[in-house]
Amino acid sequence: MDLGEFQIPGNSDPNQKTSHLSLDIGGSLIKLVYFSTNDGDDDDDDELGRSGKESVGVSNGNRSFPVLKGRLHFSKFETRKINDCLDFIQTQRLHIGGCQRLGALPIEKTIIKATGGGAYKYADLFKEKLGICLDKEDEMDCLVAGANFLLKAVHQEAFTYLDGKKEFVQIDHNDLYPYLLVNIGSGVSMIKVEGDGKFERVSGTNVGGGTFWGLGRLLTKCKSFDELLELSHQGNNRVIDMLVGDIYGGTDYSKVGLSSTTIASSFGKAISDKKELQDYQPEDIARSLLRMISNNIGQIAYLNALRFGLKRIFFGGFFIRGHAYTMDTIAVAVDFWSKGEAKAMFLRHEGFLGALGAFMSYEKHGLDDSMIHHLTQKFPMSSLVGDKICSPLNGELNDNESIECSVYAS
Amino acid sequence: MDLGEFQIPGNSDPNQKTSHLSLDIGGCQRLGALPIEKTIIKATGGGAYKYADLFKEKLGICLDKEDEMDCLVAGANFLLKAVHQEAFTYLDGKKEFVQIDHNDLYPYLLVNIGSGVSMIKVEGDGKFERVSGTNVGGGTFWGLGRLLTKCKSFDELLELSHQGNNRVIDMLVGDIYGGTDYSKVGLSSTTIASSFGKAISDKKELQDYQPEDIARSLLRMISNNIGQIAYLNALRFGLKRIFFGGFFIRGHAYTMDTIAVAVDFWSKGEAKAMFLRHEGFLGALGAFMSYEKHGLDDSMIHHLTQKFPMSSLVGDKICSPLNGELNDNESIECSVYAS
């Protein structure tokens, strides 16, 4: 996988190379975004490592910037397996610019953009193991930049999920703001976005993806987040949740609009002294847990959307993973309880907002708009089949999620 | 404790008696008079429907059903207006009773934390709307707590949480940021980023965690969540006071502290959390009040004096005994009309 060399203009130090790799190191997951030129271009490389795909691109008046065509790739690792991530970066040579691949002198200072708390927590580790200096970007800046980028530049990025149906949303660039961005990671941040770089983190909740995974692991011994989600498919939440009908003897509490199947108390039936933890099906536990957390996030999200008069709520982060029950619960919580005032929307590259935003921050020389024009999305319809969008873990590449694009090189 | 007999005026049927449900059954029968065929007891909550037949079969009691929200609100209004030192704030470990101005009571947000949670905007006597709620309530705490710790009761779970340390299981901002704050957005390093976030670790199983730590994290998670949803609704409707009812709190310091902080801090001081001494009895009290549908409510209120020795405030718990034990410190001296 070739990578074009990418330098911030004005940097004349040959020993300092920035690469087409950015990281978002969160509490539970490390997200990577990296650019590679299309395969098979090695033979065309000139002595500076520029591929034959390069051509002179846009000029901003002072200099022209050659354009490299390729793809943006997405990958993730569990934060606790950070060494696997380091190995991946090393073997794929993601941190190395073209110059180095030709056997030139070792680079002493490789600078990689990184966001998330781990950019601080693991700065030393990256230095020691790979000689990488992490250039830290603010987490919220990156989430918003990544979201704005995806919504404006990538075709069919956002979609609604109602009554079991996915529907892509056409984003009007002139009517994008304001919106509420809800990023569901280990924890949840809720950000009111009013423009490029114009935002405020207005809320959040500590009942997030980490809570689902942590409680789920304690209650079911699942080995992974995906395993827990898989379990929830077959579960029945009525075994463990106390419904309005359970309290009211089978009827609705219609006077206040609560149907008999509304959950009155999540896990409310588990107070029964007739059953112990091992007597419950892990599928039912997983389902109740997923419902409880999804519904709660949906509720706090719509309360904040109402608070600020926001009509659209975009959900990011790796909690959702295209899981039907999750999206349904969140969409219903938002749409129903806001009486249709607010709409829930999901993002295909949901978990990569931060890493994308960090990637965008390489481009601080004002060419952002031009770069956007070069992006075309290769998006085969087949990846919509079924109710899951696969987001592979631990280094596997899913080319269906990669984005064809060009980057400027100097 | 003697109770007077209480009849709705105009009811001339000697066989139909309405009684003081939450306390005892009418005096006449204790004197050995003829068995009453139809005893009518006011009842609210879902069980008034679910268990109506059971009461009929076992005790010959006919449950006169009153709406749950009506009763919660009636009970809350009654306590706030009639009972001395009913509501109190809890800040920095200190309880402080609130003087309720009868002319400035409304509007307020009533948050009743039972198995589930109801949030009611109260604008006057009988004037209210259930505006929100959450299914993450007392039943969730008890249910999840029982599954995770094998505790036999709610109180046992609360007791466990006393000794717990939430930092073992909760993922804090500092855990993600390598020890520092994320000050740019106002998150200190000790702020919980993700409840139970550390439990994803594959180095430990459920049995490797202390039940005290689990109980503490659970209590914190649920209390904080209720506090957050409560203040978001208070802000939504411009309500400055939030009264918490239901049996979730039980005078537990950590619970009240978590809720009070969530409300006061996140609303930037706009809203205030207040707790009620008779927190769990709002519905039953409201049902009791509904016997008095003949317009004597105001007069009845004047007869109430609160017997309330200061000693019950010692320590950080208000005892609320379960299963029929009477705690005379919480009883309210009063008179009722009889005809």
| CA atoms lying within 13 Å on the CB side of residue B310 | 3
- 8 Å CB contact between A117 and A189: no
- Which residue shows structure tokens 């984003």? A171
For residue range A290-327, list pLDDT tens digits in order.
999 999 999 999 999 999 999 999 999 999 999 999 99
Contact yes or no for B143 and A247 at CB 8 A = no
Q: What is the ipTM of this complex?
A: 0.84
Average pLDDT over residues B158-183: 95
Q: What is the pLDDT of residue A19?
A: 52
Average pLDDT over residues B298-305: 43
B177 closest CB neighbour out of A120, A211, A273: A120
C-alpha angle A376-A379-A385 in degrees, rounded to nearest 5: 165
pLDDT bin (cut points 50, 70, 90) of residue B68 is very high
Residue B194 at interface with chain A, using a CB cutoff of 8 Å = yes
B193: chain A residues, CB-CB within 8 Å: 27, 186-187, 206, 210
**Searching chain B, which residue's CA lies closest to the CA of residue A268?**
B139
Q: Which residues pair with B190 in a beta bridge?
A: none
C-alpha distances in Å from residue B223, one per residue of A21, A404, B243: 41, 47, 14
B49 closest CB neighbour out of A138, A208, A249: A249
**Searching chain A, which residue's CA lies closest to the CA of residue B46?**
A248
* pTM > 0.90: no
pLDDT at A390 over 80: no
Contact yes or no for B178 and A266 at CB 8 A = no
Cα-to-chain-centroid distance, residue A256: 38
Contact yes or no for B197 and A28 at CB 8 A = yes
Q: What is the pLDDT of residue A143?
A: 98
For residue range A85-120, list pLDDT tens digits in order.
999 999 988 887 544 444 444 555 788 999 999 999
Average pLDDT over residues B198-216: 96
Contact yes or no for B135 and A304 at CB 8 A = no
For residue range A188-233, list pLDDT tens digits in order.
999 999 999 999 999 999 999 999 999 999 999 899 999 999 999 9
Percent helix, strand and coil across chain B, each rounded to 5?
40, 20, 40
- How many whole angstroms separate alpha carbon B128 and alpha carbon B6? 28
Average pLDDT over residues A41-67: 49
Q: What is the pLDDT of residue B283?
A: 95
Task: Fill in the amino acid letter for A47.
Answer: E
Chain A, residues 234-293, CB within 8 A of chain B, namely 240-242, 244, 246-251, 253, 255-256, 262-271, 273, 276-277, 280, 285, 292
Contact yes or no for B178 and A209 at CB 8 A = no
Q: What is the pLDDT of residue A62?
A: 55
Residue B226 at interface with chain A, using a CB cutoff of 8 Å = no
- How many whole angstroms separate alpha carbon A267 and alpha carbon A247? 14
Contact yes or no for B142 and A253 at CB 8 A = no
pLDDT at A169 over 80: yes
Q: What is the pLDDT of residue B332?
A: 79
pLDDT bin (cut points 50, 70, 90) of residue A366 is very low
C-alpha distances in Å from residue B140, one per residue of A14, A132, A289, A334, B118: 60, 46, 10, 22, 14
pLDDT bin (cut points 50, 70, 90) of residue B291 is confident
Q: What is the pLDDT of residue A102?
A: 44
pLDDT at B282 over 90: yes
pLDDT bin (cut points 50, 70, 90) of residue A335 is confident
Short-list B278, B249, B280, B247, CA closest to B263: B249
Contact yes or no for A265 and B138 at CB 8 A = yes
pLDDT bin (cut points 50, 70, 90) of residue A410 is very low
B contact test, residue of A24, A82, A181, A215 with most B CBs within 10 A: A215
B133-137, B213-217, B258-262, B295-299: range with lowest mean pLDDT: B295-299
Q: What is the pLDDT of residue A96?
A: 75
Q: What is the pLDDT of residue A371?
A: 43
Short-list B78, B162, B172, CA closest to B125: B78
Contact yes or no for B46 and A247 at CB 8 A = yes
Q: What is the pLDDT of residue A253?
A: 93
What angle in degrees, to the nearest 10, is found between the helix axes of B138-149 and B154-162? 70
Average pLDDT over residues A59-69: 62
Contact yes or no for B115 and A268 at CB 8 A = yes
